[in-house]
Amino acid sequence: MVRYQNHLILLGLPLIIFAPSFWLGHIPGDSSKYNVAWLAEFSDQLFSGVIYPRWLPGMNAGLGGADFYFYGPMPYYIGAPFTLIASEKMAVVLLSWCMCLLSGLAMYRFARTHVGLHGGTLAAILYMVAPYHLILAIMTRNVIGEQAAFVFIPLALAFADSWESRRGR
């Protein structure tokens, strides 16, 4: 029962964090206009059958853009389904919310093996509201790629832990 209470806390916190953005309908960050355009174009390409959309034909006043030759597309694959159920701006908010939630769950997965269920929950909460993560990466700069990277840091640490335990050290 305690585990499920911890999961509810971890699910509820990102909803509270993103409540203003859900209310406004967007995150007014530095990269917001690019995120909206990239997610809309990426989704259009993806749902028209292009499995790995690298060229975005609607960018730059219809001249196109090679944005995904340079930027990693993984978070945009996660965000593409949100464009089917919400506006383009709200889809970016939902994507940022999802990245925040996934980063908290990943930290919980890593930390609970070291500090128990309650300690893991606290570590996940602190990870989600860490100033660089929340204030700079999400709310100020709104950089989707960095938000996705925050998911993989605890997963890499968990992998390293499991690797060490298998080696018997």
Q: For residue range 61-88, what is the model confidence (pLDDT) as tens digits?
A: 889 999 888 888 999 999 999 999 999 9
Instruction: State both tokens at 12.
Output: 């509820």
What is the tens place of the pLDDT at every residue in 39-62? 999 999 999 999 999 999 988 888
Nearest 5°: the CA angle 6, 121, 4 is: 15
pLDDT value at 21 more than 90 = yes
CB contact at 8 A, 108 and 6: yes
Cα dihedral sign, 59-64-69-75: positive
* pTM: predicted TM-score of the whole model, two decimal places: 0.91
Please compute the mean of the pLDDT values over residues 29-42 and round it to a whole number: 93
pLDDT confidence of residue 169: 56
Find tokens 């939630």 and name the residue.
101
What is the per-residue pLDDT across 84-138, written as a single tens digit (0 to 9) for each? 999 999 999 999 999 999 999 999 999 999 999 999 999 999 999 999 999 999 9
Q: Is residue 65 a contact partner of residue 56, using CB atoms and an 8 Å limit?
A: yes
